[in-house]
Chain A
Amino acid sequence: MTRYLLRRAPSALIVLWLASVLIFLVIRAIPGDAASVLAGADASPEVVAGIRADLGLDRPVVEQYLHWVGGLLTGDLGRSYLIGGDIASLVADGLGNTVALTLAALVFAVVVALVLGPLWASTRRAWVDRVLTGFHTASVALPTFVTGVLLIIVFGVLLRVLPTGGVPPDGLFARLDFTLQYLALPALCLGLPVAGVLTGFLAETLRSELRQDYVTTVRAAGVRPREVVVRHALRGALPVAVTTLGLQTGALLGGAVLVESIFAWPGLGLLVEQGITRRDYPVVQVLLILSVAVFVLVQLLTDVVHAYLDPRIRLGGTS
């Protein structure tokens, strides 16, 4: 296991390093450097020079880059000029809300897929198949902002049963019933496409598992149909499901930005949006590399879990 991890980690680290260089250089490429943007159009040259020195923009590019990466690794994320404050504390403020939202969406997606996937793979009723095909196509195709606005219109404006934005006044976790009410719509919106993709892949893999010889053997031994699917075929389909889920992390990260914007959810996505609209580049820069880091690490983790679940890969060398 450790050996497998050691073999995969270097390429993930290289990608992460290249991404950090890219982000750093691209942000530097903004016409009229960050200091003059931060200072505003009618700032005096002295003020601009002051900010430039403060940001370290007067030093060589390589030194700036090393300073930035060194800060990232030691938890010093730099300062935000326009939003104000330490970037580390801004990130800490939003992190909890974003993690809660993402986890809720993930749980929703996994539960839906574990229920609908096996059902879809094993159903013999045409109407069930048709309904699930429709659900799959719609949930995969419809953009997050379309379902989000639909959810707000139906549950928030017409039925008026659920809050459509923000978190409870005294924090997300103060009261459990509030937590669930406020999480419901954003988590549903964020989780739906993931649920659709996962259900589709799970059903497809289960169908091919169900055609394997070992399933025939188990069936012949008299195991009940439901047991065959849940106990045996599902286990064979799990590695694919895990990989699919890992690849969906990107959609979740991007989707979270959208969902937070639509539902006014005070998390990291809203912070990114603020950073862009106010052109607070140090904040944008940090959040970009953070999301790439999460994405790359989750993929690495996915590979490792996949290998753990499927010994053919763990022991088979290259893949």
Chain B
Amino acid sequence: MTAIAEPVEPVEVAIARPRAFRRGKGLVGLVLVALVAAAGLIGPLLVSWDPYEQIAGANLLGPSAAHPLGTDDLNRDVLARLLSGIRVDLLISFTAVPVGALLGCAIGALATFNNALDVAVQRLFDVLLAFPQLILAIGLAAVIGPGTSSVMIVVIAVEVPIFGRLLRAAVLKVREAPYVTAAEVIGGGRRHVLWTHVLPNSLEPVLVQLALSMSVAVFIEGAMSVLGIGVSPPEPSLGAVLTTSLHYLDLNPLFAVGPLAVTAVLVLGFQLVAQAANAARA
């Protein structure tokens, strides 16, 4: 461990328990995420407006039957933009986070094979983790410019060292378990032991972190939008819709309520799922 290493939680060796998601926090979390996902997947089909359409004469309208959340500064229906925006956040959460997790886990697991490689990888992770997440986002966005792909690259860059560290710690711990020694003693090859015994038993903390990281991805998307380095206009996202509403809080605070509520529900949902998964490990 070095000066900036995160404290690594003790890894419990057990099988994931789906029971944790049949009641309590886990169930609530899953339902919240599912609600937002359903709204994002089905919602845009139910709203008659197009998220990019500029409706003549509909500038900054308040809520009405035709526009339940009103219209924005460019005469677009806010509800349509919000529902389509959910898709962008889901896309980022469910692709960039798993990609970052896979990359991180692969690097973390490979590094445990070779001491020199391990030292190099750990130093690299140290340096990446020395950047506060949002500061890393700013640095990367300064270089590659704004846009959905930039948000995804930032999310991947943030997640790789986190998952790398996590899996490495888990692998090192599981490798000491008696059943792994036993597998080695009866002649199991290194690769065989890693794939069939060590890795499957090292995945639990990774699953917890996946849910946590998905909420972080939603945070990063929103934060980058607020800072003007998120998805590029006119593409809608939760953060983009919220950022537009910020300029008109005095005029009509209701503009912000939609994106605020959806972001809060989605993030809380991921968080509760992570908490339930974590509690199930203990």
Contact = CB atoms under 8 A, between A and B. Distances in A.
Interface of A: 8, 11-12, 14-16, 18-19, 22-23, 26-27, 29-30, 137-138, 140-146, 149-150, 152-153, 156-158, 164, 243, 247, 249-251, 253-255, 257-258, 261-262, 272-273, 275-277, 279, 281, 284, 288, 291-292, 295-296, 299-300, 303, 318-319
Contacts of B275: 137
B130 A150 contact: no
A292 B134 contact: no
Interface stretch (B74-82, B174-182, B223-231): B223-231
Per DSSP, chain A at the interface is helix
A137 B139 contact: no
- How big is chain B's contact interface, by range? 35 or more
B229 A143 contact: no
A83 B134 CA distance: 22
A281 B139 CA distance: 10
28 contacts: A8-B3, A11-B2, A12-B2, A18-B126, A22-B127, A30-B142, A30-B143, A137-B272, A142-B267, A143-B218, A145-B222, A145-B226, A146-B263, A146-B264, A157-B249, A249-B132, A250-B133, A254-B132, A254-B133, A254-B135, A262-B246, A277-B228, A288-B135, A288-B139, A291-B132, A291-B135, A295-B130, A303-B3
Contacts of B142: 27, 30, 275-276, 279, 281, 284
Interface in B1-24: 1-4, 6-7
A146 B215 CA distance: 13
Nearest to A246: B4
B163 interface: no
Nearest to A29: B143
B249 A143 contact: no
Contact of B264 (A140, A142, A276, A292): A142
Per DSSP, chain B at the interface is helix
Contact of A143 (B132, B140, B219, B245): B219
Nearest to A301: B3
Contacts of B246: 149, 262
Contacts of A284: 138-139, 142
A27 B143 contact: yes
B208 interface: no
A8 B140 CA distance: 29
A255 B219 CA distance: 11
A137 B260 contact: no
Contact of A258 (B2, B215, B227): B227
Contact of A296 (B4, B133, B267, B271): B4
A111 to B, nearest CB: 23
A261 B2 contact: no
A12 B5 CA distance: 11
B228 to A, nearest CB: 5
Contact of A276 (B141, B219, B242, B245): B141
Give 5 closest A-B pairs by Cβ, nearest first: A254-B134, A250-B132, A141-B271, A254-B132, A143-B219
Contacts of B131: 19, 288, 291-292, 295
A257 B132 CA distance: 11
Contacts of A12: 2-4
Contacts of B260: 146, 149-150
A255 B137 CA distance: 12
Of A8, A19, A141, the most chain B CB neighbours within 10 A belong to A141
Contact of A273 (B4, B227, B268): B227
B118 to A, nearest CB: 15
A318 B2 CA distance: 10
Contact of A257 (B130, B218, B227, B239): B227
Nearest to A145: B226
Contact of B250 (A157, A255, A272): A157
Interface in B111-166: 123, 126-127, 130-135, 137-143
B127 A141 contact: no
B249 A149 contact: yes
A279 B172 CA distance: 44
B123 A18 contact: yes
Of B130, B218, B242, the most chain A CB neighbours within 10 A belong to B130
Contact of B223 (A11, A18, A144): A144
B253 interface: yes
Nearest to A243: B7
A143 B138 contact: no
Interface string B258-272: 001001100110111
